[in-house]
Structure 1
Amino acid sequence: MRGSKRRGSLPAPRGRGRRPAVSGWGEGHAAGFAEGSRYGWHTGACEAVAARTPPGTGLLREAKVFFVKEGFESIDGGILEALQGLVSEAAGLHESEDAAGRAAEEKPDLVIVLNGTRFPVSQVESLRSQGIPTALWLVDDPYHTDRSSQIAPLYDYVFTHEANTVSWYRELGCPRVYHLPLAAGPHIYYPRMVDRGIHTDICLIANAFPNRVEFIDRIAPFLEKHRVLIAGWWWDRLQSFDRLEGKIRQNVGWMPPEEVCTYYNGAKIVVNLHRADSDPGDHNSRGLQAHSPNPRTYEICAAGAFQLTDVRADLPAMYRPGIEVATYQSPEEFMDVAAYYLAHDAEREAIALRGLRRTREEHTYRHRVEALLRTVWT
């Protein structure tokens, strides 16, 4: 999967006789210069890939679309930006706004609602009574399916990022249900140079759900040896917290996606560790399994970063393991794979470049929104 495991070696010193002594400062300076040069080369290569894969342009249709946002800035922004490029008029609405009242005045051709768990049922019913098509895009499945099962049948069209819930929604009586994966917004997640002060070997930005806590505790001795950033809520749950505290930004609250991207840009390895199918705080009483990748999968690649991710069943349909992303299935394999790619810069950077290209060619919100609109309008 990862190619040859031959260890790289330094070239033999030129000239005759003993190698001259080099001060610790000199060795550090040389290492820093080499790392900086490689980082600059990789960023330049990423920018070249981005330049060769510009976002699509051109209207799909002269139409007016309302989009009811959920509050996920990177997803909301990616969808709205895509809509504004695909239809002649697109408006973003907060879930507390009177969308039905505004629709009665402006007569949109379609209303798209993201998740919809806080969008009043009365609003959906009023929109449909006006004959305005409604589409629900669920991006939290299967974790909140107890809630989504109550609202999905109210919509004309249901789209879910989780492939494993499509047949389940059909069984609930939803007549038109489609799998629509998540994506990345290239207006936020893109390659850029960042200050060396935030460069790391390994970066994980995620909240400390129980499966993640258990995993990090098992690899803590490995993480201690490297430059690591872990950021998110509840990481003080770790048994190894005292050992890793200097590497953790805990309880940072909401981190702007632009800031998240800068940490991705500064990391040699960005870790993706999906949450478990069901946690005590979830609303998935049926125990529906998660097969589809999370949004982080696409966002890490869109940043031009090297992604080391656990395996979801649908991952190979989105990215080729070992070619566009690297994968692991246990803490032991994680440590083996991470150590290998930290020691093999060229292989790591080649995978990151291929992941970036695949994302920009197939996995942006413009791709997803265009697929949604074509489904509704054909």
Structure 2
Amino acid sequence: MGVAGRIAPEQGMLRDIKVFYVKEGFTSLDDGIIEALQGLVREVVPLHESQDAAQLAAEQRPDLVIVLNGTRFPLSQVDALRNLGIPTALWLVDDPYHTDISSVSAPHYSFVFTHEINCLSFYRALGCGRVHYLPLAAGRSTYFPKKADITQHTDICFIGNGFVNRIAFFDRIAPFLADKKVLIAGWWWDRLTNYALLKDKIKLNADWMPPGETSSCYNGAKIVVNLHRSDDDPSNFNSRGIAGHSINPRTYEICATGAFQLTDTRGDLADLYVPEKEIATYASPEEFIEKAAYYLEHADERVAIGLRGLRRTLEEHTYRRRLAQLIQTVFSG
């Protein structure tokens, strides 16, 4: 299956429609989506999930309601919107980790878009008639190349929660990180067995670091690490054990800053970036250490890979392209 985001043009005239967008609370995603919609349609109305979208829709008659994830958006609202004859589109960006929740909500929507290619058959089996693969992207007004403050310069940077697989991984590489300038930011990193060894490198309980600061940290790092959450983490709502094949939003956001990214692999990564040319990969802690050590010593190669990843992101992985494809799909009949 081709990548939906490559079909829609980046430029084009505004479509004469009004769109309600129901935010999830992921600032970096919400801001990127709203900005993209503002360049694609006549009017965008951002809404909080607690607002009475159905009542507003009855008064304002939007042509489409887009809901991000929808974990806290009442299904009574979705049903009321559809009863008004207004198309509803659910874009699921946490698959497969929250599929126990989305399995209940998805059938209520006119259209289901998921960033997880491995969930297409899952939603179709639930009776969702119009299910589409729509990868994530990077918000260009937040994630872009810029000069980072000297205090944000690091050898290696990782920003994200300390899920079980990440804790195990970083415990394995802790001796390698010990003599490097490292930033690890997020919740639960005090669960590390080697916490004392890395304590001065950890910004604990900082998962909600503002996107602008996150972008600056990416820009200041020689190597930005990406490590996907495991499918069976105890915090997941994925009782069916659906495997994750698609890359996370962090993949695009890191590349959008022009930073060098060293990431674990997912099934669709090679359809979106060229491994070892636009993004570097590892399959084990030992390979990570080998590649990190190499690229710390080979700045020219590191910078070249980061720039190629940046170019690919700007050309193909923007929210404008993703939302243009979503809108095209909804209104193509």
Partner residue, 2:305: 351
Partner residue, 2:262: 308
**Secondary structure in 1 aligned to 2:324?**
helix
Partner residue, 1:288: 242
CA deviations 1:184-232 (Å, max 9, x no partner) are: 0000000000122221110001110010000000001100121111111
Deviation at 1:60, TM superposition (A): 4.0
Q: Could you list the runs of 5+ residues in structure 1 that have no partner in the other structure?
A: 1-54
Distance 1:98 1:174 in 2: 25
Q: Decide which structure has the larger Cα Rg and report it.
A: 1
Distance 1:364 1:337 in 2: 28
The answer as to 2:217 corresponding to 1:266 is no
User: Does structure 2 conserve the Cα–Cα contact (< 8 Å) formed by 1:272 and 1:310?
Assistant: yes
Partner residue, 2:6: none
Partner residue, 2:286: 332
Partner residue, 2:36: 82
Q: 213, 219, 244: which one pairs with 2:173? A: 219
CA deviations 1:59-100 (Å, max 9, x no partner) are: 341110100000000101111111110001111000000000
Instruction: In structure 1, give the amino acid aligned to 2:288.
Output: F
CA deviations 1:292-324 (Å, max 9, x no partner) are: 000000000001100000000110011100000
The answer as to 2:157 corresponding to 1:164 is no
The normalised TM-score by structure 1 is: 0.85
CA deviations 1:137-168 (Å, max 9, x no partner) are: 00000001001000101111000000000011
Distance 1:137 1:253 in 2: 23
Give 4+ residue runs of structure 1 displaced > 2 Å after superposition. Answer: 55-60
**Secondary structure in 1 aligned to 2:275?**
coil
Instruction: In structure 2, give the amino acid aligned to 1:306.
Output: F
The 5 Å alignment of 1:1-378 reads 56-378=10-332
**Secondary structure in 1 aligned to 2:42?**
strand
User: Does structure 2 conserve the Cα–Cα contact (< 8 Å) formed by 1:59 and 1:88?
Assistant: no
Partner residue, 1:11: none
Distance 2:207 2:122 in 1: 34
Deviation at 1:58, TM superposition (A): 3.9
The normalised TM-score by structure 2 is: 0.96
Identity value in percent: 65
Deviation at 1:57, TM superposition (A): 4.3
Instruction: In structure 2, give the amino acid aligned to 1:76.
Output: D
Distance 2:24 2:105 in 1: 15
**Secondary structure in 1 aligned to 2:180?**
coil
User: What count of residue pairs does the alignment treat as equivalent?
Assistant: 324
**Secondary structure in 2 aligned to 1:229?**
strand
Partner residue, 2:3: none
User: Does structure 2 conserve the Cα–Cα contact (< 8 Å) formed by 1:138 and 1:161?
Assistant: yes
Distance 1:208 1:158 in 2: 30
User: Does structure 1 conserve the Cα–Cα contact (< 8 Å) formed by 2:185 and 2:207?
Assistant: no
Instruction: In structure 1, give the amino acid aligned to 2:93.
Output: V
Deviation at 1:339, TM superposition (A): 0.6
User: Does structure 2 conserve the Cα–Cα contact (< 8 Å) formed by 1:57 and 1:85?
Assistant: no
Distance 1:58 1:89 in 2: 16
Deviation at 1:253, TM superposition (A): 4.8
Q: Could you list the runs of 5+ residues in structure 2 that have no partner in the other structure?
A: 1-8
**Secondary structure in 2 aligned to 1:135?**
strand
